């Protein structure tokens, strides 16, 4: 599904370059559940962003489902992205002015899903995550854990083929964290490919493959 | 060095009134390394804010270096704080528009330390924290661990008597976390009093004393027999 | 999706009530000023356009050639109209119009002095559109002693009764009312309350020779005729008809108010003021929207990640700003309606906001509204939508810097416009003060003019001695006119010793009582004043400096001088005095004592320092009533008359005052909003600095530094522009102040002070804020 060949990423700092990723080669098959780990500053989030097409590599090739992503312009990339990817962030990233219902609905609106279908999809997911009672609340009225749940729900509402998660439980208690990871496991069982970045060994144990990054290199 | 007597803090928001601290009595002697633990929302940060004179208690007394400061004016508190206390926050709280060097230099500017002396001290701090190569970078260009090291450098550059640290390792991985704790330990060994709020039991044991806070009150205290070396 | 955007737009507006209010208020105020000024401009522009034949109507202007100069005036001889009509096929119709002097009008018990009397040919009513309420254009003047009156005059003398067929007395004329027309619109250069037949005027002895330029002539062209062509044939035509050194030419009706009367200058100026104010308001709006939209960057990045395309975002921001703009527009309409009465008082007109009258205004305004909304909405959308979402999410995107340069430039522009307005206000104010206070060459204080009526001329001497018995009265004199008032002029019948017979020059003249010069406080600088004791003085002349210059005589005293067939000697030279307003140069003036039947006014000078002016006036009135019981007493103060000639400038000064205040207010609103925003953005940084030991002063300085810098730059930009504009305006005055440094320095200080005040509230508030609330805790 995903092929990264020789991916590197650097920033210009003063006169020299700071390398964040160095010649990364990764193959991911559809249906895998992968964890990327490594000390802070190792480039985990950057790698995830590149896979998620939110960022471009400075060098290298990125194939997603046979498309040469590194050669596509922004419009085409965001089209692929919209179709296939869901992203879960470390800090919730919900739209504060919208209710839970409206937040969940937003990706569907951008995909031009029809009103009736939208309704049923949102209700489905509210049900599944057991947050039906909260659908008219604003993010400010929810606890941290609940916001994160909504963030996850929003990421998966259009059943993406690939789910990317950046420290999804970083700000949660262990119990809420477990809830999220269980959902991930279930999704993966249903066929969703999942790549997550995390510090937590516990979270990593849910996945079936661990990629270790160190200083921008893949550590074997 | 520090003594609080029946410290009370009540937070009032639009909807509700919460008692964050409920008659807290705490004594910390010079040179101690105290860890404050407790579940989230129980008042640890509030306690630290009051100890750092960033906030005022609703009731009770706070003695810092023998002075009762709970009713001091903003200016007096700022002065006392400037000269005696260094802060380390969980979310680093560096100023994004300033370089690493400038961030570390900032407390010295407000203390009106002359230019030569400033240069010397900032240089020392950079060396000590091993971030000299990054001195002209901006915070966004550093990793979490590096940012926290800058924050610690900033906290110590004015050679304060006391450091207040609020979850200093919360946003760091274990390797970086260990590093920061070790730095704090070294500072303590050199004589700086440290009061640290933390979630992590293992880090708490770096200190010589653990104070447990629950629902705004001190419930237990453990005295460690050994100091971390 | 639209509903979604609308909901978010409304919630955002509500959530940031403070900024939304500033945005809406600023824009609404700007729009109100523009609406009101536009009403005035359109009214002025529409002068005389209500006539059906407007496109074909022209006025005849006389171009008179003297030896040294040429002058233009809209007065023509009585024969011109019919001559043009008969001899020029392109001219379909012509008529004459004369405005008469004040006369006493009577009907039954009602008698008043009327100033708005005119005389015209019957064709006047065919050419111009003055709708008849009673009667018709065809039956306007069935007989010589007819009169057509306006609705207002009808009510004044006849109440609600039908005046047709009834009689009115005009001095000793008995006239039959033959028509009532609608009140004349305020934007018409032709204004009258009643019209007599022109023939009647002629039968009373009005001059009809080709040299008597006392009447207005209007012509109606055939469709397709070109007035340019006619103007080209007129010089030859004129020469064939009259020996006078004149050329006649056609001036289009609409040109009269705009160009001949100079209204176009003020239209430009006020339009510019309105544009300035609106631009300031729009800049505010754009600035604040842009700044605030930077806070929404995380939302933008998030939406992109969720699946928004660039067009989706552009539409969203565009919709929000349109919503705010429309709300502001509604407020502006309401405010304009409320302010209309005050505005009418200020301008002396009667405006109303009915849509049918103002389609042009409203559509223009809607256009502005749309433009503002689009610009302020699309800029942030364009800018933000181009960012990579990852930079926003990662936090490497410095939200404060987005569009920072754009905003800075806008602030400088705003500041500059305000400064130009301030300089303008100061300069106009100074010029008016100067004009009012400048030495006029005579003393206009406490000087009363009383129009002579009835047979008072014969009783003048006894009237005068009666008045002089009052202690409050310093002097009494009489004359044919006064500075700032009516004056006679002549070019043909002038002669002096050594005059070149080919020299054609025009001079003004007053016929005065012997003590006129003394009473008026004018100065004799050569020779002597008139004396009642020297009987030959009744034939002598005193010239002013400008007249002496025109004669070229080196030592005029003692030389022979002839005016209108009377020859005498120049006995003295008077120091120049202003015969007209400051707009005009001082003209050459001849003063002579005879003939007294030309005197039109009696002048009474009150002793200065005499506190009870009212009782003095009362005394004069009582005396008058004893001499002329059948004529009501009228008087006016000379200094008031003089001030009236500056009414345009005064009005402009007032409008400029208010306009500047509005502009500066809006600019302040904008700066306030921006600084509040900046403070909010830097909250975390302020908290950290405070924790680290920054003093309140430090923080305030940090926040205000930028605004002050921008203010100073704006001054540098504004000064040359203001200098140029003010110089141009002052050129219109024959006598004007020096521009000097003062207005610019004052404007600079004022603008910076105001900016500081605006900024201080927010910056002090931020500096005093509690770090606990501002530092970020997870």
Q: What average pLDDT does this structure show over A209-220?
A: 78
The CATH number of the domain holding residue A198 is 3.40.50.300
Using beta carbons and an 8 Å cutoff, which residues of A are at the interface with B? 11, 13-14, 18, 39-42, 173, 199
Q: What average pLDDT does this structure show over A50-78?
A: 82
Cβ contact, residue pair C303, A110, below 8 Å: yes
Q: What average pLDDT does this structure show over B58-71?
A: 86
**Claim: this prediction has a pTM higher than 0.90:** no
Enter the tokens of residue C27.
């824009």
Q: Return residues 311-340 of C near A (CB < 8 Å).
A: 312
- Report the run of H or E that residue C245 belongs to, with start and end: none
Q: What is the pLDDT of residue C153?
A: 93
Do A84 and A161 form a contact (C-beta atoms < 8 A)? yes
Q: What is the pLDDT of residue B227?
A: 47
Q: Starting at the edge strand that comes first in sequence, how are the strands of the sheet with B2-12 ordered?
A: B17-28, B2-12, B59-64, B67-68
Q: Which residues of A touch B173 (CB under 8 A)?
A: 39-40, 199
Using beta carbons and an 8 Å cutoff, which residues of C are at the interface with B? 394-396, 398, 684-685, 687-696, 698, 768, 770-772, 775-778
Q: State the count of interchain CB pairs (< 8 A) between A and B.
A: 25
Distance between CA C753 and CA C43 in Å, rounded?
38
CA-based nearest distance A109→chain C, Å: 7
> Domain span at residue A168?
2-219
Cβ contact, residue pair A40, B137, below 8 Å: no
Distance between CA A105 and CA C89 in Å, rounded?
80
Do C567 and C560 form a contact (C-beta atoms < 8 A)? yes
Cβ contact, residue pair A87, C394, below 8 Å: no
Cβ contact, residue pair B172, A40, below 8 Å: yes
Q: Give the Å distances, CA to CA, from C110 to A146, C102, C168, C626, C633.
A: 89, 16, 10, 21, 16
Confidence band of A123 (pLDDT split at 50, 70, 90)? very high
Confidence band of C1 (pLDDT split at 50, 70, 90)? low
Cβ contact, residue pair B154, C691, below 8 Å: no
Indicate if the pLDDT at residue A160 is higher than 60.
Answer: yes
CA-based nearest distance C404→chain B, Å: 14
- Is the minimum CB–CB distance between B173 and chain A shorter than 8 Å? yes
- Closest alpha carbon within chain C to B139: C396
Chain segment A105-121, per-residue pLDDT in tens? 888 888 888 888 889 99
Q: Which residues of C touch B96 (CB under 8 A)?
A: 398, 685
Chain segment A13-60, per-residue pLDDT in tens? 656 677 778 888 888 888 899 998 877 656 787 888 888 887 788 888
The partner residue sitting opposite A97, judged by closest CB among C8, C309, C388, is C8
Q: What average pLDDT does this structure show over C290-301?
A: 70
Best A58, A88, A110 residue to mutate vs chain C (most C CBs within 10 Å):
A110
Q: What is the pLDDT of residue A156?
A: 86
Residue carrying structure tokens 């007096």: B76
- Classify residue C512 by its DSSP letter: B
Q: Which residues of C touch A82 (CB under 8 A)?
A: 307
- Closest alpha carbon within chain B to A44: B143
Chain segment B81-103, per-residue pLDDT in tens? 888 888 888 777 888 778 899 88
Chain segment C426-477, per-residue pLDDT in tens? 888 888 777 766 667 788 888 898 988 778 888 888 999 999 988 888 899 9
Q: What is the pLDDT of residue C437?
A: 67
Indicate if the pLDDT at residue C43 is higher than 90.
Answer: no
- Closest alpha carbon within chain A to C310: A75
Indicate if the pLDDT at residue C231 is higher than 60.
Answer: yes
Q: Which residues of A touch C16 (CB under 8 A)?
A: none
Confidence band of C392 (pLDDT split at 50, 70, 90)? low
- Report the run of H or E that residue A217 belongs to, with start and end: strand A217-219
Enter the tokens of residue C726.
């003010």
Q: How many independent structural domains does chain A possess?
A: 1
Cβ contact, residue pair A110, C778, below 8 Å: no
- Is the minimum CB–CB distance between B91 and chain C shorter than 8 Å? yes
DSSP SS3 for B162: strand
Residues 6 or more apart whose CB falls under 8 angstroms from that of A49 comprise A55, C390, C394
Cβ contact, residue pair B107, C398, below 8 Å: no
Q: Which residues of C touch A111 (CB under 8 A)?
A: 307
Distance between CA C76 and CA C630 in Å, rounded?
36
- Chain A adjacent subunits, 3+ CB pairs under 8 A: B, C
The partner residue sitting opposite C685, judged by closest CB among B49, B95, B111, is B95
Q: Which residues of C touch B87 (CB under 8 A)?
A: 691
Q: What is the pLDDT of residue B195?
A: 92
- Chain C adjacent subunits, 3+ CB pairs under 8 A: A, B
Confidence band of C583 (pLDDT split at 50, 70, 90)? low
Chain segment C313-361, per-residue pLDDT in tens? 777 778 877 888 888 888 988 998 888 888 888 777 777 766 655 677 6
- Report the run of H or E that residue C240 belongs to, with start and end: helix C227-241
- Closest alpha carbon within chain C to A170: C778
- Is the minimum CB–CB distance between A98 and chain C shorter than 8 Å? yes
Cα of C165 vs its chain's centroid, Å: 41
- Is the minimum CB–CB distance between B5 and chain C shorter than 8 Å? no
- Closest alpha carbon within chain C to A82: C307
- Is the minimum CB–CB distance between C308 and chain A shorter than 8 Å? yes
ipTM of the complex: 0.76
Q: Which residues of B touch A11 (CB under 8 A)?
A: 141
Q: What is the pLDDT of residue C386?
A: 66
Q: What is the pLDDT of residue B228?
A: 43
- Chain B adjacent subunits, 3+ CB pairs under 8 A: A, C
Determine phi and psi for C273, rounding to 5 degrees: -60, -45
Residue carrying structure tokens 């293992």: B202
The partner residue sitting opposite C772, judged by closest CB among B54, B107, B167, is B54
- Report the run of H or E that residue C635 belongs to, with start and end: none
Q: Which residues of C touch A106 (CB under 8 A)?
A: 4, 303, 306-307
Indicate if the pLDDT at residue C287 is higher than 80.
Answer: no
Q: What is the pLDDT of residue C380?
A: 63
The partner residue sitting opposite B111, judged by closest CB among C693, C775, C776, is C693
Q: What is the pLDDT of residue C379?
A: 67
Indicate if the pLDDT at residue B229 is higher than 50.
Answer: no
Distance between CA C502 and CA C67 in Å, rounded?
8
Q: What is the pLDDT of residue C132?
A: 93
Cβ contact, residue pair B93, C694, below 8 Å: no
Determine phi and psi for C428, rounding to 5 degrees: -60, -45
Q: What average pLDDT does this structure show over B160-171?
A: 86
Q: What average pLDDT does this structure show over B148-177?
A: 85
Per-chain mean pLDDT for chain B: 83
Q: Give the Å distances, CA to CA, from C641 to C261, C448, C650.
A: 19, 10, 14
Is pLDDT larger for residue C674 or for residue B130? B130
- Closest alpha carbon within chain A to B39: A173
CA-based nearest distance A39→chain B, Å: 6
Per-chain mean pLDDT for chain C: 82
Best A40, A143, A212, A215 residue to mutate vs chain B (most B CBs within 10 Å):
A40
Q: Where are the alpha helices (DSSP H) in C478-590?
A: 516-520, 545-551
Q: For chain C, what percent of residues have pLDDT higher than 70? A: 89
Chain segment B28-42, per-residue pLDDT in tens? 888 999 998 877 656
CA-based nearest distance B128→chain A, Å: 20
- Is the minimum CB–CB distance between B75 and chain C shorter than 8 Å? yes
Stretch among A154-158, A207-211, C13-17, C159-163 having the lowest mean pLDDT: C13-17
Residues 6 or more apart whose CB falls under 8 angstroms from that of A72 comprise A80
The partner residue sitting opposite C12, judged by closest CB among A97, A109, A154, is A97
Residues 6 or more apart whose CB falls under 8 angstroms from that of C339 comprise C32, C36
Indicate if the pLDDT at residue C189 is higher than 80.
Answer: yes
CA-based nearest distance C772→chain A, Å: 20
Chain segment C488-523, per-residue pLDDT in tens? 777 667 888 888 887 777 788 888 888 999 888 888
The partner residue sitting opposite C395, judged by closest CB among B54, B78, B140, is B140
Q: Which residues of C touch A97 (CB under 8 A)?
A: 8, 11-12, 15, 299
- Report the run of H or E that residue B45 belongs to, with start and end: helix B44-51
Question: What is the pairing mode between strands A209-214 and A33-37?
Answer: parallel
Q: What average pLDDT does this structure show over C243-263?
A: 85
Best B9, B42, B95, B141 residue to mutate vs chain C (most C CBs within 10 Å):
B95
Q: For chain B, what percent of residues have pLDDT higher than 70? A: 93
C673: how many CB neighbours lie within 10 A of its CB?
A: 26
Q: What is the pLDDT of residue B18?
A: 73
The partner residue sitting opposite C306, judged by closest CB among A75, A97, A106, is A106
């Amino acid at each position: 599904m995903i092929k990264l060949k020789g991916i590197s990423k650097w920033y210009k700092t003063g006169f020299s370059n700071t390398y964040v990723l160095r010649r990364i080669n990764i193959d991911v098959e559809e249906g895998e559940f992968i964890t990327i780990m490594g000390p802070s500053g190792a480039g985990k989030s950057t790698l995830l962003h590149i896979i998620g097409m939110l960022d471009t590599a400075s060098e290298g090739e990125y194939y997603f489902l046979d498309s040469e992503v590194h050669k596509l312009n922004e419009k085409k990339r965001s089209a692929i992205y919209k179709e296939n990817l869901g992203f879960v962030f470390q800090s919730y990233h919900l739209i504060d002015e919208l209710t839970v219902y409206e937040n969940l609905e937003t990706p569907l609106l951008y995909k031009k899903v029809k009103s009736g279908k939208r309704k049923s999809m949102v209700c489905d997911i509210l049900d599944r995550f057991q947050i039906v009672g909260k659908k008219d609340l604003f993010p400010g009225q929810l606890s941290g854990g609940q916001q994160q749940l909504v963030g996850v729900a929003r990421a998966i509402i259009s059943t993406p083929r690939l789910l990317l998660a950046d420290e999804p439980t970083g700000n949660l208690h262990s119990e809420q964290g477990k809830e999220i990871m269980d959902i991930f496991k279930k999704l993966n069982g249903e066929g969703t490919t999942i790549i997550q970045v995390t510090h937590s060994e516990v979270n990593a144990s849910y996945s079936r493959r661990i990629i270790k990054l160190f200083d921008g290199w893949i550590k074997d | 060095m520090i003594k609080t007597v029946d410290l009370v803090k009540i937070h009032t928001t639009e909807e509700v009134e919460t008692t964050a601290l409920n008659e807290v009595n705490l004594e910390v002697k010079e040179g101690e390394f105290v860890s404050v633990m407790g579940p989230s929302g129980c008042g640890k940060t509030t306690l630290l804010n009051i100890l750092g004179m960033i906030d005022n208690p609703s009731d009770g007394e706070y003695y810092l270096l023998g002075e009762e400061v709970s009713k001091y004016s903003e200016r007096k508190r700022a002065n006392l704080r400037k000269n005696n206390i260094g802060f380390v926050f969980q979310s680093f709280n560096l100023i994004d528009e300033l370089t690493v060097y400038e961030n570390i230099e900032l407390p010295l500017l407000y203390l009106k330390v002359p230019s030569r002396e400033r240069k010397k001290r900032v240089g020392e701090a950079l060396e000590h924290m091993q971030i000299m190569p990054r001195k002209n970078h901006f915070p966004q260009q550093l990793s979490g661990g590096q940012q926290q090291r800058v924050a610690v450098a900033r906290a110590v550059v004015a050679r304060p008597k006391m450091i207040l640290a609020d979850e200093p390792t919360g946003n760091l991985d274990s390797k970086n976390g260990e590093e920061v704790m070790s730095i704090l330990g070294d500072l303590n060994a050199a004589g700086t009093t440290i009061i640290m709020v933390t979630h992590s039991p293992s880090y708490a044991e770096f200190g010589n004393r653990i104070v447990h806070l629950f629902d705004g009150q001190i419930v237990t205290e453990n005295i460690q027999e050994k100091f971390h070396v | 999706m639209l509903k979604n955007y609308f909901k978010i737009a409304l919630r955002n507006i509500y959530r940031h009530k403070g900024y939304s209010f500033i945005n809406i208020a600023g824009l609404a105020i700007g729009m109100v000023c523009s609406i009101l000024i536009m009403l005035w401009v359109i009214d002025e522009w529409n002068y005389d356009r209500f006539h059906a034949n407007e496109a074909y109507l022209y006025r005849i202007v006389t171009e008179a050639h003297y030896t040294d100069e040429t002058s233009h005036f809209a007065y023509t001889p009585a024969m011109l109209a019919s001559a043009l009509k008969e001899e020029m096929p392109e001219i379909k119709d012509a008529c004459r119009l004369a405005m008469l002097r004040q006369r006493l009008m009577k009907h039954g018990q009602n008698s008043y002095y009327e100033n708005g009397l005119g005389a015209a040919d019957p064709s006047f009513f065919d050419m111009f559109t003055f709708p008849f309420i009673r009667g018709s254009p065809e039956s306007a003047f069935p007989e010589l002693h007819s009169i057509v009156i306006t609705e207002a005059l009808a009510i004044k003398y006849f109440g609600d009764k039908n005046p047709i067929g009834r009689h009115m007395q005009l001095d000793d004329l008995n006239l039959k009312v033959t028509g009532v027309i609608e009140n004349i619109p305020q934007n018409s250069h032709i204004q009258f309350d009643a019209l007599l037949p022109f023939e009647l005027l002629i039968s009373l002895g009005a001059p009809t020779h080709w040299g008597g330029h006392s009447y207005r002539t209007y012509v109606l062209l055939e469709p397709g005729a070109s007035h340019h062509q006619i103007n080209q044939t007129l010089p030859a035509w004129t020469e064939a008809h009259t020996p006078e050194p004149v050329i006649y030419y056609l001036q289009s009706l609409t040109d009269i108010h705009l160009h001949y009367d100079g209204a176009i200058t003020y239209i430009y100026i006020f339009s510019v003021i309105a544009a300035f104010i609106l631009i300031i308001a729009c800049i505010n709006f754009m600035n604040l929207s842009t700044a605030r939209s930077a806070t929404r960057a995380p939302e933008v990045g998030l939406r992109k990640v969720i699946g928004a395309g660039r067009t989706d975002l552009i539409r969203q921001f565009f919709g929000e700003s349109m919503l705010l703009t429309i709300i502001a527009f509604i407020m502006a309409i309401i405010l304009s309606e409320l302010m209309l009465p005050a505005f009418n008082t200020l301008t002396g007109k009667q405006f109303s906001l009915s849509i049918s009258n103002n389609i042009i205004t409203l559509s223009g305004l809607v256009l502005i509204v749309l433009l503002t909304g689009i610009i302020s909405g699309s800029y942030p959308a364009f800018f933000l939508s181009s960012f990579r979402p990852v930079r926003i999410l990662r936090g490497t995107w410095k939200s404060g810097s987005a569009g920072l340069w754009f905003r800075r430039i806008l602030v400088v522009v705003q500041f500059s416009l305000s400064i130009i307005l301030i300089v303008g206000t100061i300069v106009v104010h100074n010029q008016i003060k100067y004009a009012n206070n400048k030495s006029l060459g005579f003393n206009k204080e406490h000087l009363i003019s009383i129009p002579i009526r009835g047979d008072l001329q014969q009783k003048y001497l006894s009237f005068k001695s009666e008045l002089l018995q009052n202690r409050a009265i310093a002097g009494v004199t009489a004359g044919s006119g006064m500075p700032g008032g009516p004056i006679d002029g002549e070019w043909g019948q002038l002669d002096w010793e050594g005059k070149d017979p080919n020299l054609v020059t025009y001079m003004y003249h007053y016929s005065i009582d012997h003590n006129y010069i003394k009473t008026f406080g004018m100065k004799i600088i050569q020779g002597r004043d008139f004396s009642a004791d020297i009987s030959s003085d009744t034939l002598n002349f005193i010239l002013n400096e400008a007249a002496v210059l025109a004669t070229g005589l080196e030592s005029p005293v003692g030389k022979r001088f002839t005016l209108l067939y009377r020859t005498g000697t120049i006995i003295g030279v008077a120091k120049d005095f202003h015969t007209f307003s400051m707009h005009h140069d001082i003209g050459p003036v001849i003063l002579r004592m005879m003939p007294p039947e030309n005197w039109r006014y009696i002048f009474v000078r009150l002793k200065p320092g005499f506190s009870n002016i009212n009782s003095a006036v009362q005394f004069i009135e009582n005396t008058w009533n004893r001499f002329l019981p059948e004529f009501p007493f009228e008087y006016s103060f000379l200094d008031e008359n003089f001030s009236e000639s500056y009414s345009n400038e005064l009005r402009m000064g007032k409008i400029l005052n208010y306009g500047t205040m509005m502009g500066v207010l809006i600019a302040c609103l904008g700066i306030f909003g921006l600084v509040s925003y900046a403070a909010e953005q830097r909250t975390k940084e302020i908290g950290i600095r405070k924790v680290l030991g920054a003093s309140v002063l430090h923080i305030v300085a940090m926040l205000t530094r930028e605004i002050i810098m921008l203010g100073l730059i704006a001054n540098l930009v504004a000064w040359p522009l203001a200098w140029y504009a003010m110089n141009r305006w002052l050129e219109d005055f024959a006598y004007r102040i020096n521009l000097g440094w003062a207005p610019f320095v004052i404007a600079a200080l004022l603008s910076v002070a105001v900016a500081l005040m605006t900024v201080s509230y927010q910056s002090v508030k931020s500096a005093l804020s509690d770090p606990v609330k501002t530092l970020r805790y997870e």
